[in-house]
Amino acid sequence: METPRPGPSELEAFQALYERHFDFVWRTLRHLGVREADLSDACQEVFIIVHRRLPSFEERAKVTTWLFRICANMARDRRRLAHVRSEVLGDEAIDDAVRRRDPTTELERQDKLAAFEGALKSMSFDQRAAFILFEIEGLTGPEAAAALEVPLPTAYSRLRLARQAFLSAVQQARSEAPQRKARRGGTG
């Protein structure tokens, strides 16, 4: 039985993991429905758990798989507490618009992300998790199944349903896009 190794090496491992995977954790929590205002806190909570469990992390496991499970549990708990992301916040949209200095492009991007998030919302939590792992993070079937803690056929089944939901929701958003543009008074 290997004794957890406190001290510099463990700390360095934690820091390395934080550096490499912070964006992954942030993105995963966001896509799993954690509210923008809660993301920072949720990320911290995830990494506190990571820090606590790091000594028992099995080297053969894929770290993103392990992290995803922690994120999914965190997101699920927050949903249970009714912290589901139910609103959209405008700050980042405006930030990015400023950064890009191209409002037209930004509006298009914004529409796409709105459609993306709308599509995620049309999925069940399990489907959403499968979709994120396969289509956003690019995990393989066995990796995604491991992260979801379900048999491979189940993972594929969820992915199939998630894709259908995604396509359906995006197509609906596309059909509504001209009306939005008209309301906005935009061009094209």
Partner 1 sequence: MDTKNWAKQLPEDVRGVLEAGIQVSSPAGAKGAAWSALAAKLPVVAGAGVAASASGGVLALLKPFAVGLALGVVATTTVVGVQSFTRPAEPTTLTSRPKPSIEQPVARGRSQQPVSPSARTPPALPAEAPAKRSAAAPVAASRASASSASSPPTTPIPAATTFAVEEPPSATEHAALIETRRVARARSLLQQGQANAVLLNLAELDRLAPHGVLIQERETLRIEALFALGDYERARTEARRFIARYPQSPHLPAVQRALR
Number of residues that bind partner 1 (CB under 8 A): 93
HEC sequence for 29-85: HHHCCECHHHHHHHHHHHHHHHHHHHHHCCCCCCHHHHHHHHHHHHHHHHHHCCCEC
Q: Is 135 in the site for partner 1 (CB under 8 A)?
A: yes
Q: Which amino acid is at 59?
A: E
| Spatial separation of the C-alpha atoms in residues 71 and 59, rounded to whole Å | 19
Nearer to partner 1 among residue 76 and residue 141 (C-beta): 141
| Spatial separation of the C-alpha atoms in residues 144 and 142, rounded to whole Å | 5
Q: Is 92 in the site for partner 1 (CB under 8 A)?
A: yes
The 10 Å Cβ neighbour count of residue 131 is: 23
**Subset of 154-173 contacting partner 1 (CB under 8 A):** 156, 159-160, 163, 166-167, 170-171, 173
CB of 153 to partner 1, least distance (A): 9
Q: Using the rule CB under 8 A, which residue among 69, 79, 83, 114 binds partner 1?
A: 114
Site string for partner 1, 26-65 (x = CB under 8 A): xx--xx----xx-xxx-xx--xx--x--xx-x-x--xxx-
CB of 169 to partner 1, least distance (A): 9
What residues contact 185, with CB distance under 8 A and at least 6 apart?
none
| Spatial separation of the C-alpha atoms in residues 159 and 41, rounded to whole Å | 29
- What backbone phi and psi angles, to 5 degrees, belong to 64? -65, -35
CB of 45 to partner 1, least distance (A): 9
Site string for partner 1, 12-31 (x = CB under 8 A): xxxxxxxxxxxxx-xx--xx
Nearer to partner 1 among residue 77 and residue 153 (C-beta): 153
CB of 58 to partner 1, least distance (A): 9
